[in-house]
Homo-oligomer: A and B are copies of this chain.
Amino acid sequence: MTAADRVYAIIKQRILDGYYVAGSYVREATIGQELELSRTPIREALRRLVSDGWVEVIPHHGARVVSWTQRDVEEVFELRVLLEPQVVRRAASRIDAPRLDSLGELACHMEQLCERGDDQAIDEIAVLNDRFHAELITAADSPRLQRLLEAIVQVPVSRRSFHHYSDEELHASMRHHREILRALAVGDGEWAASVMRAHILAARAAQLHPPARQTHQPRQQHA
């Protein structure tokens, strides 16, 4: 592991942790002194963070941690609604039994965590959910589709968790996983794609209307 790799990981972690606030600048000299490295590996790490969409570079002025607007979030969901169904559409005719099994285990694990329902469990679900989607992408066997999605879903972890899901939304999400797996098991790409589309649209709804979180109450109009 090179110094540039370490710097990349450190800066990324600091962004995720909120140590580097969105909109603030990451100074090359500053972390250089901090980590006792020259600017060279820091610059390389920053360039990689730029191409991964975590920071943006203003020429001759510095690397700034990207800010996310509501519009950015909507754009991402709009693209995921297109691309993620394509993932399972392709996967349906390509997936093999071992991977289906491993996806099934992931679904199982997530459901158990879902039953626990505490905050830590919710965090773990987010991790497993990422793995779930990543495995599907691998099964889709399309490097370009994978690249596009990776370029898209890189979102600050604060927005990627399931904390704004209601119980009902969370359980629906688990059912989606199961239904996708059933569709894949019988090789029905369109079925799988439809469920995935619903899955993403549900996630979008949960993100866009986080305050409306009454599980057992009668329905209520939102903005």
Q: Hey, which bits of chain A sit against chain B, CB under 8 A?
A: 1-2, 44, 47-48, 51-53, 59, 72, 75-76, 78-79, 82-83, 86, 142-145, 147-148, 151-152
Contact = CB atoms under 8 A, between A and B. Distances in A.
Contacts of A1: 59
22 contacts: A1-B59, A2-B59, A44-B47, A47-B47, A53-B144, A53-B147, A72-B144, A75-B142, A75-B143, A75-B144, A76-B144, A78-B86, A78-B142, A78-B145, A79-B144, A79-B145, A79-B148, A82-B82, A82-B86, A147-B151, A148-B151, A151-B151
Given A48-B51, A78-B86, A148 B142 contact: no
A222 to B, nearest CB: 23
Contacts of A145: 75, 78-79
Nearest to A90: B78
Contacts of A44: 47
Nearest to A43: B44
Contacts of A82: 82-83, 86
Contacts of A76: 144
Contacts of A52: 51
Nearest to A86: B82
Nearest to A81: B86
Contacts of A151: 147-148, 151
A43 to B, nearest CB: 8
Contact of A47 (B48, B75, B147): B48
A59 B3 CA distance: 11
A78 B72 CA distance: 25
Nearest to A53: B147
Contacts of A86: 78-79, 82
